[in-house]
Amino acid sequence: MEVTVAKSAGFCFGVKRAVEMVYQEAEKERKVYTLGPIIHNEQVVADLQQKGVGVLESVEDIKEEGITIIIRSHGVGRETLEALQKKNVQIVDATCPFVKKIHNIVQEKQQEGYGIIVVGNASHPEVEGICGWCKKECIVVETPQDAVKCTFPPGKKVCVVAQTTFNYKKFEDIVDILSKKSYDILIMNTICNATEERQTEAGTIARLSDAMIVIGGKHSSNTQKLYEICKAECLDTHFIQTLDDLDLNLFQSFRSVGITAGASTPNNIIKEVQSYVRKYEQ
């Protein structure tokens, strides 16, 4: 059996960096908290909890002094950062550099007189954070209907950015509508290609494999999407959460097996599955 593991399986660069930063901080003397769960993976959060890392939902929940507070990869708005700076805590900023770049763009463009449009989901923490770096004139657009209703006046200088995980096709549709609204428009495509790369690679491997294993959380929508992409290319695609869900008997007759994993699947689970399946590799 030949086993191919997707290079882009699991954590993207920004999440990997943030999780590593938390583990590094956990080694130190101070008590460590993340502001919100560092990642939507119960095993990782539980493992960190065992190492003494707690989760606080907001700055108001900080009751101790001299502790470390870690900002996760989604980033936070200016107000939250300033509220943190007023506390007697050590701040470790694990904001993904690609998200930080958007914070810088919106600040700079607003200073130049642009109104800001963030294409994304208004209640997503990343979008809340981006809007938190705009002093005024910031509109979130999630659907073509929102774009039609956009209230900036014609002729206004408008800078458009996107939530990093926004779907590119939907972004294009929204930009099309906004471009027809007689704004002096500046489009910054800030979509991160980590998700697309993961999906494209999964599809390619699934097409070339007899069977495919997709690892990820039951409720993870990006893993579900990966599963659908793989299933369309390879009928024998299996969705598992951990090694326990894997029935290797199903795979013994296959010559080639591919493995990929959703964005919040830790590397050790991918490795475990990989070495288990590789026992049958020739």
Q: How far is the CB of 129 from ligand F3S (least distance, A)?
A: 12
129, amino acid identity: G
Does position 12 interact with ligand F3S (CB under 6 A)? The reply is: yes
Of 198 and 238, the one with the shorter C-beta distance to ligand F3S is: 198
Does position 165 interact with ligand F3S (CB under 6 A)? The reply is: yes
Instruction: Give residue number: closest CB to ligand F3S.
Output: 14
Q: Which among 4, 39, 1, 2 is positioned nearest to 230, based on CA atoms?
A: 4
Of 38 and 246, the one with the shorter C-beta distance to ligand F3S is: 38
Told to judge if 126 belongs to the known catalytic residues of this protein, a careful annotator would answer yes
Scan residues 175-214 and list those touching ligand F3S (CB under 6 A): 192, 194
Q: How far is CA 276 from CA 5, 25, 224, 259, in A?
A: 13, 32, 23, 12
Of 8 and 209, the one with the shorter C-beta distance to ligand F3S is: 8
For ligand F3S, which stretch binds (CB under 6 A), given 7-15, 31-39, 151-159, 239-247? Answer: 7-15
Q: Which among 16, 9, 4 is positioned nearest to 195, based on CA atoms?
A: 9
Q: How far is the CB of 210 from ligand F3S (least distance, A)?
A: 30
- Contact between 258 and 206 (Cβ < 8 Å): yes
Position among 68, 73, 110, 274 found at the interface with ligand F3S (CB under 6 A) = 73
How many Å apart are CA 128 and CA 136, to the nearest integer?
A: 13
Sheet strands (E) in the chain:
2-5, 32-35, 53-56, 68-71, 90-93, 115-119, 138-141, 157-162, 184-187, 211-215, 237-240, 256-261
Strands 237-240 and 211-215: parallel
- Contact between 158 and 113 (Cβ < 8 Å): no
Question: Which entry of 2, 29, 42, 126 is annotated as an active-site residue?
Answer: 126
- Contact between 257 and 1 (Cβ < 8 Å): yes
Q: How far is the CB of 116 from ligand F3S (least distance, A)?
A: 18
Position among 33, 98, 171, 239 found at the interface with ligand F3S (CB under 6 A) = 98
Does position 222 interact with ligand F3S (CB under 6 A)? The reply is: no
For ligand F3S, which stretch binds (CB under 6 A), given 10-18, 55-63, 109-117, 224-232? Answer: 10-18
Q: Nearest 5 degrees, angle CA 203-CA 5-CA 202?
A: 10
Element (H, E) at 51: none
Of 190 and 209, the one with the shorter C-beta distance to ligand F3S is: 190
Does position 174 interact with ligand F3S (CB under 6 A)? The reply is: no
Does position 71 interact with ligand F3S (CB under 6 A)? The reply is: no
67, amino acid identity: I
Of 19 and 234, the one with the shorter C-beta distance to ligand F3S is: 19
Position among 41, 164, 260, 274 found at the interface with ligand F3S (CB under 6 A) = 164
Q: Nearest 5 degrees, angle CA 238-CA 243-CA 246?
A: 40
Position among 9, 32, 89, 99 found at the interface with ligand F3S (CB under 6 A) = 99
Active site residues: 126
* Residues of this chain that bind ligand F3S (CB under 6 A): 12-15, 73, 96, 98-99, 164-165, 192, 194
